[in-house]
Amino acid sequence: MKHAFIDRYAHLKSPIHELDVAKKLAAALSGLFLLLILLPLLDQTRTMSGLYIYSICALLVALGSKVPISFLLTRSVMVLPFSALIILVNFVSGNFSPGQTLEMILKSMLSIFTLLLLTSTTPFHELMKQLARWGAPRLFIIILAFMYRYFFLLVGEIEALERGIKMRHSQVGGWKRTQVYASIIGMLLIRSYERAENVYRAMRMRGFTGDFR
C-alpha cells in the first residue's frame, strides 16, 4: 500500500525545497495577502496588471522548484467548478460581468498555485512544526498532527471494508446500498475509536500524563 500522495513532491531536491520553512511559509502567506487583500484595493486595471506580474513571478518560482508544472496547473484549475456555479447563478439573475469573473478566476487560481508551491516544497510535518513555533495553540496542532498521522491508516481500513462488502454481496441498489455505506462509515468510526483507545494506552505506557502544553 502506498499512500504518500498528499505531499508527494515535498521530498524533491531544489533550491526552493532547501529554503528555511519559516521563510517559505511567511512568503506564501504574504503572497496570499498581496493577492487577496492588497491588490483588490486598487482599481480594476491595476489589479489585473498586478495579477499578471504575480503569475510570472509564481511561474518562475515553480520552475526553480522542479515540481512538475503540469501538476501545479491541473490542481489549480480545480477551482473552476465552483466558479462555474457562481457564473451560472449570475447568468440566471442577469448579473454577469466578464471582467469581474476573469479577475475572480485568476485570483483564486493564483492562490491555489501559491499554496501548492508551498505544500509541494515542504513536508507537511515541517509546516505543522513551524506553526507551533509561531505560537499556534498546542491542542490544535496536536489534533492536526494526529489527523495527518492516522489518515493513511484509516484510508487502508476503508479500502478493506469496501473490499469486504464487494466480496460478500456483489450488487445492491437504492436504499439498501445507502444503509450498507452508512454501516461502513459507522464501522470506520468504531475502528477509529478503538484505535484511539490503543494509542492512548501506548502513550500512557511511555509516560504521557495528559500534559501537552
Partner 1 sequence: MHIPDGFLTPTVTITTVTVAGAVLANSLKTVNASIKPDQIPLMGLLASFVFLIQLFSFPIPGGTSIHLTGALLISIILGPRAGFIILTVSLLALALLFQHGGVFSLGANVINMAAVGCFVGYALYNLIPGRRGAIILASMISGIVSAALCASELALSGMLELSAGIKTMSFIYGITGLIEGVITLLILEFLLKVKPEILGSET
Q: How far is the CB of 112 from partner 1 (least distance, A)?
A: 5
Per CB under 8 A, which of residues 106..125 are in contact with partner 1? 106-112, 115-116, 119, 124
Per CB under 8 A, which of residues 182..201 are in contact with partner 1? 182-183, 185-190, 192-193, 195-197, 199-200
Q: Is 35 in the site for partner 1 (CB under 8 A)?
A: yes
Question: Which grid cell is 18?
Answer: 532547501
Q: Is 69 in the site for partner 1 (CB under 8 A)?
A: no
Q: Is 154 in the site for partner 1 (CB under 8 A)?
A: yes
* Integer Cα distance of 91 and 107 in angstroms: 21
Q: Name which position in 26, 57, 139, 160 contacts partner 1 (CB under 8 A).
A: 139
Per CB under 8 A, which of residues 166..185 are in contact with partner 1? 173-175, 177-179, 181-183, 185
* Integer Cα distance of 109 and 87 in angstroms: 16
Q: Is 89 in the site for partner 1 (CB under 8 A)?
A: yes
Q: What are phi and psi of 97, to 5 degrees?
A: -130, 120
Residue 171's identity, in one-letter code, is Q
Q: Is 140 in the site for partner 1 (CB under 8 A)?
A: yes
Q: Name which position in 79, 126, 129, 165 contacts partner 1 (CB under 8 A).
A: 79
Decide whether 13 or 213 has the Cβ nearer to partner 1. Answer: 213
Q: How far is the CB of 171 from partner 1 (least distance, A)?
A: 12
Binding segment (CB under 8 A) for partner 1, from list 16-24, 42-50, 62-70, 75-83: 75-83
Residue 134's identity, in one-letter code, is W
DSSP states along 174-194: HHHHHHHHHHHHHHHHHHHHH
* Integer Cα distance of 119 and 142 in angstroms: 19
Q: Is 104 in the site for partner 1 (CB under 8 A)?
A: yes
Q: Is 144 in the site for partner 1 (CB under 8 A)?
A: yes
Q: How far is the CB of 102 from partner 1 (least distance, A)?
A: 11
Q: Name which position in 1, 4, 13, 41 contacts partner 1 (CB under 8 A).
A: 41
* Distant-in-sequence, close-in-space partners of 9: CB < 8 Å, separation ≥ 6: 67, 68, 71, 120, 121
Contact 112, 78 (CB under 8 A): yes
Residue 138's nearest CA partner among 147, 128, 148 is 128
* Distant-in-sequence, close-in-space partners of 12: CB < 8 Å, separation ≥ 6: 65, 66, 67, 121
